[in-house]
Structure 1
Amino acid sequence: MSDSPVVDGRRARGDASRRSVLSRATHLASVEGLDGLTIGRLAETSGHSKSSIATLFGSKQSLQVATVAAAREVFVATIIEPSRAEPRGLSRLVVLMRRALDYSRERTFEGGCFFAATSADIDSKPGPVRDALREALSEWYGYVAAQIRYAADAGELALAASDAEALAFHLIALDQEANNRSLLFEDDAPYALAVAGMRERLLAAGADARMLSPLTAPDAGTR
């Protein structure tokens, strides 16, 4: 029993170190990609030694998988969980897309959307890292499509539930393109274009314009 506080203290310090390392890893990967996320590179930028990072994660692949999981937690906490305050359907969908745009525009991760930045260098490389990315993105795509189906079932959108996946594809594509262009051109203007495109597609699908108020354009400007 007398050893428990010592063991718990070590565990707490280990958990804190892991969180600190993963926080830095998510930002680094959002800028340099997952392929560039190595134990050595992370040690250079995190203030932790290579040996301590290796002790925490064991291998580059384990570090990469853990980094995807950490980024997924941030994504859920930043976008999905707060949106659940809205009723299922169009209201939640609109807030989801607003929060997704803000997550990119406000640079929750230094390199913009973590998943947009990392999927490009992993999407053609089978293995546990791609599996982790695919699972996280499939969850996001499915959640957006589910809100569209709820909206259609409730009469908030005039489209068949079977068309939900196509509309989800368009909305998410607008979000991702705004992220990519904003990063490349260091300009907020793409977010205004994405907002306009989202509103256009939702209105075309029968949405009441009064329910789209969260989808207003941010102040445009160069970063």
Structure 2
Amino acid sequence: MTFWGRPPIHILKLAGAIQKKLAAVSPNLWLMPLHQMHITTLEVTFCRTPSEISSILSTLRPSIPRIASYTYSHRARLIKPMVSYDLSALALSFLPAAGEPSPSPSNPSSAEVVNDKYTYHHLRRDIWDLTKAAGIVVDSRYIVPSAHVTLGRYLTQGEHAVPEQRRRWVEAIDEVNAWLEAEVWGREDSEWYVGQEKGLDVRVGTLWYGGGRTVMMGEGF
């Protein structure tokens, strides 16, 4: 069970453009479908049976409307997207804004957003607190906070069998990041207020590759 933030259309378009650049170097890379992309604001629990999830959901249900729409009045800004990667996946990672100028001519009218006093870290903290207050023990796999959207998983051996191929793959990621920093940062389509277009997606089921089902989608702005 998780609470997902859903990227707005302009971030999905950016993610799709990056996927296209990386797929040119690794055509067999598994790419996350755009309609399944998400940022995990809080993983409530994992590796539970359907009956266990049903019990947790029953306990949490009275608090779900407030949690799902929490981003409507608590707007955290994410900026400076870059591609990050490890042994299992690659993702588009963001930084919480900290007073940087906003390129958007239509910023949400909120003092918290304008001065960035309320960040994505605060949002994660608040959602954690709301979940605990509802009587749920949060059982997340990941402790270190991260603001990322998975782009893809799994490199094939054939495409990365020799050092030259692996070097080219890393160079391709470096090239994308150089492009992001030089040409995308500072543009309106590089900035993301969590909750734009859709509120938090309260989600249960087999979620690892963007699956599962929505219990409630919060109100967007």
> TM class by shorter-chain length?
under 0.3
Higher-Rg member (1/2): 1
Higher normalized contact order (CA 8 Å, seq sep 6+, divided by chain length)? 2
